[in-house]
Every structure is written in structure tokens, then in C-alpha cells.
Chains A and B, each alone.
Chain A
Amino acid sequence: MDIILETLSKIGFMFAVIMGMVVVLIWMERKGAAFIQDRTGPNRAAILGVRLAGLVHPVADVFKLLFKEDIQPSGRHRAFYNLAPWLVMTVALSTYAVIPFGDYLTVAGRKVALVTADLNVGLLYILAVASLGTYGVVMAGWAANNKYTFLGGVRATAQMISYEINMGLALMGLVLVFSHTATPGYLREFLGTDFLSGLRLTHLVAGQGELLWGFLPKWGIVVQPLGFLLFITAVYAETNRNPFDLPEGESEIVAGYHLEYSSMKFALFFMAEYAHMVIGAALIATFYFGGYQIPWMPRPVLEAHAGMLLTLKLIAVAAVGFLFALLFLRRTQREKGKFGDLRDNEPRLGAGLWLIVALAALGGLALRPWTLGPEGASLFASLMQVGAFLAKLVFFAWLFIWVRWTLPRFRYDQLMGLGWKVMLPLGVANLVVTAVVLTIV
């Protein structure tokens, strides 16, 4: 019974993270695009004058999509047409099952692993599920019975097959590096093994908490720099984002595979794209940037200095809170009566909220956090790990947006040339060199 409850809460946590991130990412995309193109971006949608710098805009989007008419083409294949958006979304959400977001959390004296399903073939599971994502796109393209959607579907199949291979090849080097290395001492009891297995994601991340030559974090990018470049390119291709958004290619095939979808069915494709971005970011962080690991601060260090770290953290939060409250107060002065409606109250509200945050942090300091006991320290370490994972997630999600608004789209032959003639040989070379080096060392 405990197991079911634990698993359900882990699934719930991951689902909340993804869905929350989807909303934030849509906002980040619009604001990021505006920033890169020297515009302001969305700033009109408001609830009682509160605009949250455009964060209210996705709410307006949701209502718009919910109430739109669901127009369906007459020549469609009914079952596939309805199934495709759900398939895309389901596949996008299932990958998260194997991604660890912390090593363990101590609940009532029991150590609960912070991963939904710790498969011993976790890495292959990710590749397998990602490869199924193609079907939703292909089905959508074919079932709508439209030449443009069809072209989008065909493009998606060829692109996915080409880049999946590169993705797998790039990861194999990483698996070689971390297979049969010694388990970090503090996790030996919890993981129940003396040697790591490179295909298990929890082991992969645990291995990245070690130091290389005593000072360099043994992150994936440090031991596999070329593998990282190949992997990140392949991930961008798999998510169908610029510069690899040929299945959608607005200037060539209108909107590609989801052209004939409207209302919530379109919304599912739209959300799935962002969910795929979150997976992509999570995978990059997990494989090449140490997942939940904070550099030079594995769990024992975090636990030993938990009291001091927590104190410093609260002081920092209080300082930032006061600073922001001050900035908002200045805006209140500067923008007095600027709009002449409820929006004028927004800076005042912001100042109040930041003040509350700062005061809460000060209140936390009054509880004397430097005298944290071992249980509190363990909880603190777990929370820090989850926080580190989420921070990396947000950064790499932002990288997706950054790349999209910086690079132009590939031509189709360039896409195929890059995949088969450049990345595949490099991937094989990387694997061979890694194997040779590991044999010698």
C-alpha cells in the first residue's frame, strides 16, 4: 500500500512539474522571443489589473482554446485523427518515469528513492518511448487527408529515424564511462550495489557526483564533450524545434502535421511540444550535467553543512526579497497614475508580496536554522537536490528557446546530410575512442 501511495505521489509530482513548466515555458518563449527581437512581448492579459509580466496570458490562451469550435476535415480517418493528439501527449509524459530528481528522501525512517521507476534498462526505455513519439505525428499527418499534413508526417518519420540513431550512439559512450565504476560510498547501502550500471539512470547520476582527478565534477559533459554536442543536436531534432522544425515548417508546408487540428486537439499538440522540451531539458541535465547533483556538494557535504547553508540561504532570500520590494516601491512612485485603472496597483502588490517573502525568510532565521538536526539535514539535502535538478531543467528549457529564436531552419537535404554524414561518423568515432581510452586507463 505504501508503495502505491509513494509511486502515485511521485507521478503526481512529476506531472505537476511538467504541466507547470509547460505554462512557464509558453510564457518564456513569448517573452524570450520578444527580448531577442527587441520587442515587449505579451503584456495585456490581466486579472483585476494583475498581469504578472505576461504570465496571465497562458490563462487567456487556455480559455480561448477550450471555447474554440473543433473543426474537423471531412475526409479524415476518424479513429487516427482523434487518437493522434492523445498519443503524442501520452508519449511525451511517459518518459519522465525513469528520470531521477534526487537520490532519496527519508520519510518516517525509510529511504524513498526519488524516481518513479528505477528500471535497469532506464536509458533504453527513454530511447524506446521517444521512438514511439513518431507515431502520433505520422498518424496526425496521414489521418487528416491533406497534402501538407501528409508531407509533415513523412518528414517527421525520416527525421526521427535519422536522429534517433545518433542519440543512441552518443549515449553509449556515456554508458561505457559509467559502467562498472565504484558506487559512491554514501549511496552503496541505498543502491545495494558496489558497482554502477551505466544503463540505470539513478546509477548514471550517482556516478556524476564523483570528482575527476580530485577537483573536476565527473559530469557527462566533462567526460564526453563530443557526445554531449551530438546528443544535444539529436535532442533538438527529436523535439521538432527550430532549427529542426521541418515537420511543421510554416513557410513551406503551412503548419505541417497539425494543420487540420483546432481547439483542444491542437492544444494537445501545442502542449506536447513544450512537454517534449521539458523532457529534452531533463535528459540533457540528467545525462550530461549531473542531474540532481550540485558540483562539489554530494549528499554527505550537504548534510554536514546543512545548518550553515540553510542560514546563508535564508539571509540571501531575505536580501533579495527586500531588494525587489524596494524596486517595486520605486516603480509605484515612478508610474503613479500611468494607466488610470486597476493596473496601477500592480507594483504595490508586487512590493507587498516580496516583502512577505523577505519577512518569512527573516522569521525562518528566528527559528535558529544553524542548529538543524540530522533529520532536518537529510530533508534539506533532498530538497536542495530537487531544487538543483529543477534549476538545470529551467536553464536547458531556456536554451531551447534561445536556440529557436537565434538559428534559422535547415534545408531538408542539409538536415539529412548533417544526420548521416556528419553526426553518425562522429558518434561512431566517439564510441570507439571512448572504448579504447577506457581499455587503456
Chain B
Amino acid sequence: MEGFLFWFCGILMFLGGLMMVVQRSAVVSAVWLVFSFLCTAGIFALLSAPFLAVMQVLVYAGAIMVLFLYVIMMLHGPVLEDELIPSNKALWPLIAIPPAAVVILLVGWVKGEGLRTMPDSIAADFGTAEHVAQLLLGRYLLAFELISIVLLVAIIGALAIGQRERKLPWK
């Protein structure tokens, strides 16, 4: 059952990613990305990480992608078939190079190092919200706070760039 679910989620995730890349409409692409995220959440759930799975849906599929969709829609408006970017078939082999490289590297890594197998037993609270919270606010506190500061700086930077032409509030 677990094996079946793994392949089910995995293949759908891959297909979702593929469809996202080949779609010509930005809105449809975004929806395929959401689909791919949902399948990723399924994989997390299979790996005994329920908190991570729910967060994947809540943060990535539910919040960030909704924001993306909002921006895409605000920029484009209701565009359908006629206003799409024409696809250049000649570029397709070029586009295929990076993913192919990743696949080759991955296969090579798996062959060389071998897949480390999962431990036979994991702690009862592994992957729960409490466990993750203790790691984040204990062992990885410094990294966690630093990332928050980086994100804050990024937001302020985006604001500053976005308001380039207008008068900045602090000037």
C-alpha cells in the first residue's frame, strides 16, 4: 500500500511539474504547480512527517501560490488562447538540458553512494508539530532567526525597489 502510494504521488508530482513547464498560459502553469505541491505533501505524509505535509499545503499550495496567481492575474487580466506567447520549437532541446543534467547527477549519486535506507523504527513523536518546533526553536534557533531576518530584508528591499519612482516613506 505504501509503495503504491509512493509511486502514485511521485508520478503525479512529476507529471504536474512537467505540465507546469510545458503549459503556455501562466495561470494554467500555476495551477499545475499547485497540483505538484499537493503530491509532494502526499510524499511527506508517507515519510511520517505530517506537520511538514500540512505545512506544504498550507504555505506553498495555499498561500504562496494564491499570491502568485493574484499577481499573474493582476498583470495579465483574463488572457486566453489568442494572447499567449508563441512557443519556439527550436528551443526545446535547449530547455531539456538542465533537467537532464539533474537526472544524470541524481542517478550517478544514487549509484555511487547508494540509497541510505530508512531506520527500522523512528521516535513516536517524529515529524509532529512538537518535534519540529523543538528542533526549530532549540537546535536550529540561530539558523531559523537568521532566515527570518533575511526574509525581512528581502521584503524591505522589494518594497524599496517597487517604490523607486515614488517618494520613499523614510526619505
Contact = CB atoms under 8 A, between A and B. Distances in A.
Partners in one complex: yes
Interface of A: 75, 77, 80, 119-121, 124-125, 127-132, 134-135, 138-139, 142, 145-147, 150, 153-154, 157-158, 160-161, 164, 197, 199
Interface in B32-84: 34, 50-51, 54-55, 57-58, 61-63, 66-67, 69-70, 73-74, 77-78, 80
B137 to A, nearest CB: 13
Interface of B: 25, 27-28, 31, 34, 50-51, 54-55, 57-58, 61-63, 66-67, 69-70, 73-74, 77-78, 80, 128-130
A75 B51 CA distance: 41
A129 B27 CA distance: 21
A164 B62 contact: yes
Contact of B73 (A80, A130, A157): A157
A237 to B, nearest CB: 14
B98 to A, nearest CB: 28
A419 B74 CA distance: 20
The 10 closest A-B pairs by CB, nearest first: A131-B62, A128-B58, A128-B57, A157-B70, A124-B54, A150-B78, A121-B54, A128-B54, A121-B50, A134-B66
A147 B78 CA distance: 7
A28 B57 CA distance: 34
B80 A157 contact: no
A432 to B, nearest CB: 16
B78 A146 contact: yes
A145 B58 CA distance: 28
B55 A124 contact: yes
B80 A77 contact: yes
Given A124-B55, A158-B70, 20 more contacts: A80-B31, A120-B50, A120-B129, A124-B129, A127-B58, A127-B62, A128-B57, A128-B58, A128-B61, A128-B62, A131-B61, A135-B66, A138-B69, A138-B73, A145-B80, A157-B67, A157-B70, A157-B73, A161-B70, A164-B62
B130 A197 contact: yes
Contacts of A129: 57
Nearest to B125: A120
